[in-house]
Chains A and B, each alone.
Chain A
Amino acid sequence: MGKAFAALLAIITLASVYFFAARTWWMPVDISAHGPGVDHQIIETMLLTGVLFLLSQLALAGFVWKFGGPGEGRRISTFPGGAKVVVFAVFVVVGIEILTLSFFGSKVWAGMFFAPAAPNSLHIDVQAEQFAFFFRYAGPDGQFGGIHPELINDGNGNYFGLDPANDVAARDDIVVGSLTIPVNKPILLTLHTKDMIHSFFVPELRIQQDIVPGLEIPIHFTAVQTGKHEIVCTQLCGLGHYNMKAYIEVLPQDKYDEWLKSQSQ
């Protein structure tokens, strides 16, 4: 029985390692400029943890194979120095591994979250609410109108709380339900939420950012490939969470200009 369990353990270990190594269920295509750094980091983490996983699971299977059966009067062996030494050694080894990964990974992280957006970034405002995303462009005047939360009214399409009656800059703001951006252009999003915590996740952009009520959260990226992908909410936000999504469409610059022009008419 002990040997059968050891064999099963080894098979499960090797099979799961195989599916990762063969990239059977792998990450979606990467369309962002910062994505290769993120992917590199993920693969590095996978490799390090994968080797440890493989070695420790096979060692476990080996011990079960050798000592798993019933033994008459077998002496219980202990590590020299007792369990404390082993626990301490594991603590140090795993600690060093995590710190090393964090240290190397922080460069990629900082590039996304601590570095300022490029000065020529296209600025788009994002409003999340149960259960949709809305996007606001500055319009022909290049100026965003001010936001007045008390004026938010889904009934007349005022998802951001603009005050066009008194605020000239707000009059030409373009508010739409899908995100359209030009390719190879730095994009700066400012994330807002009307009601509760949501999350802005585009796997293909390698971006996932929580949106917290009361905060304006900036996030910047550059898409390097055209195409249409899904934006999904990844914070369980209620009944319609499963359906809280929008689309991001990356267009060539000229197509984007055309689209923008058609929206501001």
Chain B
Amino acid sequence: MKTRYFLALALLVAVSSALVVLAAPPAGNGSITGKVTYTGTPPKMKPIDMSKEPTCAKQHATPVMTENLVTGPGNALQDVVVYISAGAPETSASSQTLRYDQKGCQYLPHVLAMEANQPLEIYNDDQTSHNIHPLAKVNPEWNKSQPPGTPPIQAKYEKPERIPVKCNIHPWMHGYFVVLNTSHYSVTGNDGGFSLKDLPAGKYTVTAWQEQSEPQTQDVTLGAGESKSISFTFKVLPY
């Protein structure tokens, strides 16, 4: 008798958990990891002269360099956005607020990836005015002035787009907003590594984007709970 109850209970648990799994978006535990590297000779990054903005210049012991192609040890390529461009399960946008800083007359981070509709706060940490101008074409374009001590600017982008960001006051300040319609993305650090986690079994297209190169894509098929390693290689030229 007891066994029968137990079996019934076990069945109930099994069925209901199966229902829960079917109803909720399939959050798998598969992953795609790898590294972005370059071949060829990368261009020399140029030092930025900030002498006209002494409050910024004094924050840097050595001159800040341009960041259009940042490399790391072992031919690693930094600031590459790797994301699932097709096949990812649909999710609602993250409500976690992202922070973007204008500090020492630089944009930190240089490349900020975000989900469409994800809230964004833009801070001016400098003792000088900034005027951030994201050059959006698909989303509405705006620019906002931010004297020192201004509260952060609240922003949000509704459509996926790669948006160059510039400062209307300091011509050397440049960055990128990469607005994506997936939560599965990764921006490479100095080691060029990326990792896309929590993927259910399926067929995916993975895109790697670097600001001055042609984007690359790869198709990856994942089984349930499978982890695959892929790599992207960008060909770079010295000029």
Contacts and interface: CB of A to CB of B under 8 A. Distances in A.
B49 A176 contact: yes
Interface stretch (B19-27, B164-172, B196-204): B164-172
Contact of A157 (B66, B129, B169): B66
A70 interface: no
Nearest to B164: A155
Interface residues of B, number: 27
Interface residues of A, number: 23
Given A155-B174, A165-B237, A178 B168 contact: no
Contacts of A159: 171
B68 A246 contact: no
Contact of B174 (A132, A154, A246): A154
Contacts of B3: none
Contact of B66 (A129, A156, A245, A247): A156
A225 interface: no
B166 A154 contact: yes
A240 B168 contact: yes
Given A175-B46, A247-B51, A156 B68 contact: yes
Given A155-B66, A156-B68, A164-B239, A177 B174 contact: no
Task: Name which of B43, B145, B172, B211 has the most chain A CB atoms within 10 A of its CB.
Answer: B172
Interface in B95-150: 128-129, 131, 145
B171 A154 contact: yes
A171 interface: yes
B48 A239 contact: no
A165 B239 contact: yes
A243 B66 contact: no
B171 A129 contact: yes
Contacts of B145: 239
A132 B52 contact: yes
Contacts of B50: 177
B171 A132 contact: yes
A130 interface: yes
Contacts of B172: 132, 154, 157, 177
A65 interface: no
Interface in B45-81: 46, 48-53, 66, 68-69
Interface of B: 43, 46, 48-53, 66, 68-69, 128-129, 131, 145, 164, 166, 168-172, 174, 211-212, 237, 239
Interface of A: 129-132, 154-157, 159, 164-165, 171, 175-178, 238-240, 243, 245-247
In order of increasing CB-CB distance, the 6 nearest A-B pairs are: A177-B49, A164-B239, A240-B169, A155-B174, A156-B68, A157-B46
Given A156-B43, A177-B48, A239-B145, 18 more contacts: A131-B170, A131-B171, A132-B172, A154-B174, A155-B164, A156-B46, A156-B68, A156-B69, A157-B46, A157-B172, A175-B46, A177-B49, A238-B168, A240-B170, A243-B52, A243-B53, A247-B51, A247-B52
